[in-house]
Amino acid sequence: QVQLVESGGGVVQPGRSLRLSCAASGFTFTTYAMHWVRQAPGKGLEWVAVISYDGTNEYYADSVKGRFTISRDNSKSTLYLQMNILRAEDTAVFYCGGSYYYDSGGHYLQIGNGIQYWGQGTLVTVSS
Amino acid sequence: QSALTQPPSASGSPGQSVTIPCTGTSSDVGGRNYVSWYQQHPGKAPKLMIFEVSKRPSGVPDRFSGSKSGNTASLTVSGLQAEDEADYYCSSHAGSNNLVFGGGTKLTVL
């Protein structure tokens, strides 16, 4: 069955770095754009970043641009999020998600089409 | 990258129908047919319920339907059941290959 397993979360001081990983299995990883979505405690979902199926294109929310870097290793079916210069407001559960790269009409979508697969999330707490 | 607008809460009795609106702009909801809806139960990961405005993934009951008019998309849940009580989020493609979510709506089954 489909599994996305995030890891790497924890408590980190403001200004420091953290790297999240998301191991995928049970689906053809190379046909999915992959996203990171976060959810601050008691708050709604916030899209963070996406990487195209082949890793050639990355897009970021304004709130993380220049601080976070999304990447993937298709040989390992693994997604990453390198988070630098962390702030208290980055405290959240981070979910990875997979989005098929074609729409129902067969059109290619760089950022995919609806996030079909979700991990269970990993908590990142930024605190001194 | 402004969030889409959803009402914070909605409610209905078992068996009734409830509609949750999601308002954006011509740069996101109104300009694209890539609106999705997600259901999230407390402590759980979101689940895709609707994609491309009105399409249901395999396994999602046909009690869930989506539509769009202008800059507003809507999720309708018909024949409300207790297990439908959850938070619901809309999302849309936006701008230059960005994704934007709504603030979420807490659906209560009375």
**pLDDT for residue B95:** 78
Q: How far is CA A4 from CA A27, A29, B10, B34, B69, in A?
A: 10, 10, 31, 23, 35
**pLDDT for residue B96:** 78
Q: Residue B34: its chain A contacts at CB < 8 A?
A: 103, 109, 113-114
Mean pLDDT by 10 residues, chain A (128 residues): 97 98 97 97 97 96 97 98 98 97 88 93 97
Q: Tell if the CB–CB gap between B1 and A109 is shorter than 8 Å.
A: no
Question: pLDDT tens digits, residue range B12-47?
Answer: 999 999 999 999 999 999 998 999 999 999 999 999
Residue B46 near residue A45, CB atoms below 8 Å:
yes
Alpha carbons A93 and A71: distance in angstroms, whole number = 19
**pLDDT for residue A40:** 97
Can you read off the two tokens belonging to residue A1?
Answer: 């069955």
Alpha carbons A86 and B99: distance in angstroms, whole number = 22
Alpha carbons A82 and B90: distance in angstroms, whole number = 27
Q: For residue B12, what is the DSSP state?
A: E
**pLDDT for residue B1:** 67
**pLDDT for residue B60:** 97
Question: pLDDT tens digits, residue range B42-84?
Answer: 999 999 999 999 999 999 999 999 999 999 999 999 999 999 9
Q: For residue A77, what is the DSSP state?
A: T
Q: Residue B103: its chain A contacts at CB < 8 A?
A: 44
**pLDDT for residue A111:** 86
Question: Over the Cα atoms of chain A, what is R_g?
Answer: 14
Note whether A118 contacts B: Cβ–Cβ < 8 A.
yes
Note whether A120 contacts B: Cβ–Cβ < 8 A.
yes
* CA A7 and chain centroid, separation: 11
Question: pLDDT tens digits, residue range B74-110?
Answer: 999 999 999 999 999 999 999 778 999 999 999 999 9
Residue B68 dihedral angles phi and psi, to the nearest 5°: -150, 140
> Which residues are bridge partners to A43 per DSSP?
none
Q: State the Cα angle at B86 between B82 and B89, rounded to 5°.
A: 140
SS3 B96: coil
